[in-house]
Each structure stands twice: as C-alpha cells, then as structure tokens.
Amino acid sequence: MIQAPLKSIMEILEDQANYPKVFERVESTVILGDGVVLVSLDMPFPFSNRDYVVKYIQEQVDNEFIYRFHAVIHPEAPLNSKYVRLIHAAGEWRLHALG
C-alpha cells in the first residue's frame, strides 16, 4: 500500500522517462513510441544487468486504474551484450483510492 494521492501515483507511472529517478533499480528508459519502452535494470548479483522491452496499456475498470505491461519485440530496441533481455517481462499496477 502506498499512502499518496492517487493522481500523484498515476502521474509517476505514466512518466516512464523519469523511472530512473523514481525506481532505484531502473538505470535507464528509452521511449520507443506507441507505449513501448526499453527499460534497463541494475539488479543485485547474480541477476545484474537485465533489460526488457514492454508495451504499456492503461485502462479503467470501475474505480480501479490498471497499468499493464507485457514484453514486445521492437526493431529500435537493439540487444546490448552487457544485458540479458527478459523476453517474458510482464506485470501490472492496480490503483484505487482507499477512502
């Protein structure tokens, strides 16, 4: 649970370009367009140097805001020999007001 205004959290999640300033493990993000982002991560040993290319999808169901992402292949996301590409990356954030 995050105790912050819903609008503030939504703004953070929608601003992928600034993820390195918000999320400790995110080294960099490259916006590739149409909701597609290349995310590079600095993970602890033995998982260091991972990246993934995902498409973000936003939707609202009743009073819940959902931010989903799933791995995609994008021609402008070259492989970097220093990173292991996570080809099955996926997840979601589900936001709703607590009261």
Beta strands in 1-99 (DSSP E): 26-33, 36-41, 50-61, 64-71, 84-85, 90-95
- pLDDT reported for residue 1: 65
Residue (of 19, 10, 26, 24) closest to 59 by Cα position: 10
For tokens 């140097």, the residue is 49
54: burial class by Cβ within 10 Å (0-12, 13-18, 19+)? buried
Phi, psi torsion values for 59, nearest 5 degrees: -150, 160
Question: What pLDDT is attached to residue 46?
Answer: 83
pLDDT in tens, the chain (99 residues): 677 888 999 999 999 999 999 999 999 999 999 999 999 999 888 888 999 999 999 999 999 999 999 999 999 999 999 999 999 999 999 998 887
